[in-house]
A and B are shown apart, each in its own frame.
Chain A
Amino acid sequence: MHELSIACEIFEQVMATAKEHGATEVKHVTLQMGRLSHTNPEQLSFCFKVLSEESIAENADFIVEMIPPSLECECGYTGTVDEEKIRENCEFKSELLAYAAVMECPICGKPAQITGGRELIIKSIEIETEDQN
């Protein structure tokens, strides 16, 4: 359960940026989350909601965009995992396991290096400011 500490970090960053830009309200918070990170989007969203109570981000929509893992192979291939192929091949329901078990290069079939898919990025926020006129 480390969603709370991560939500704290997100909340602090969002509030700092919002204040810097003179926000009166935060409308949207958009995150990008790698599918291989051990963070649960629903729990994270819940923690953020609790933290933002009685703040200008209280009613913000918390949007999480999932990012597929990316690979790099010694044969020179770089790209993302073929999600369709994993769904066909995987008997397990856990998406994380599916990704982890089939990290082969789609070109040469050798085990590939994971180069992305574990990130947790605060992509952008949408804020409201006072009309300057």
Chain B
Amino acid sequence: MLMHVIDMGHDVYKANDKVAEKNKKKLDKYQVFSVNVMGAIGSGKTTLIEEVIRQLKDKYKIAVIAGDVIAEMDSSRFRKLDVPTIPVNTGKECHLDAKLVEKALDEIDLNNTDLLLIENVGNLICPVDFKLGEHLRVVIVSVTEGDDIILKHPMIFKTSNLAVINKVDIAHAVDVDAEKMRDDILSLNPNVPVILTSKHDWESLETWISFIELGVKKSQNR
């Protein structure tokens, strides 16, 4: 019997990052602005994406990738808004990864897409480690999750380019201070833009939507 030590140096996450880079290059080639929307179950990801679609679909060509353990439910909500939607069932998995997005991109007419909205699986942990090739990483958190939720999940807030605190209209009812949530986010990531939203407050939705629109415009001018 002979014993050998074999050096491997295979980084599991880097393997995903490489595919993500490939996805991003592809999206850049077609000047598609892509958004990875992350957040817990019930934080309002689907609703806030629907608002973006409603307001921007006459100006830009939008496509959606809807990731979920069973993706059909959310997909049908997006299809009702007449945008091409690819459901991605993750089965037992708690996040989308770059390979799943790579496959979904094959089903999207990128020549006819300006904005790609990717709804990730609902949780604040697993999506963090898996880049998809997105241009903007958004984390949506709702006041109903409690105002200690942010410090319990630091990495998602540290690695996002935009944070949205949603359902602020019911903060009082659930005994939560939305401003504390904003402060916690900024303590983890001092430069991240933070938006407070409620689906009943049009002005707040407008801020969210214009942030996305700004990204689309920048992509088109590249």
Contacts and interface: CB of A to CB of B under 8 A. Distances in A.
Interface size class of A (residues with CB under 8 A): 35 or more
B129 A118 contact: yes
A124 to B, nearest CB: 5
Contacts of B13: 37, 118-120
Contacts of A121: 9-12
Interface in B89-141: 92-95, 125-126, 128-129
Contacts of B10: 13, 121-122
Contacts of A120: 11-13
B26 interface: no
- Majority secondary structure, B binding face: mixed
B79 interface: no
Given A37-B129, A101-B154, A10 B12 contact: yes
Contacts of A83: none
Chain B interface category by residue count: 20 to 34
B187 to A, nearest CB: 7
B6 interface: yes
A27 interface: yes
Interface in B144-176: 151-152, 154-155, 158
B17 to A, nearest CB: 10
A34 to B, nearest CB: 8
Interface of A is mostly: mixed
Q: Considering residues B6, B7, B94, B126, which has the most beta carbons from chain A within 10 angstroms of its beta carbon?
A: B6
A124 B7 contact: yes
A13 B3 contact: no
A4 to B, nearest CB: 7
Contacts of B154: 96-97, 100-101
B73 interface: no
Contacts of B6: 17-18, 21, 124-127
Contact of A131 (B2, B7, B158): B2
Interface of B: 1-15, 92-95, 125-126, 128-129, 151-152, 154-155, 158, 187-188, 190
Shortest Cβ-Cβ A-B pairs, 8 listed: A100-B154, A122-B10, A120-B12, A121-B11, A122-B8, A2-B126, A126-B5, A124-B7
Given A2-B94, A38-B125, A129-B2, 5 more contacts: A13-B8, A27-B3, A101-B187, A127-B4, A129-B1
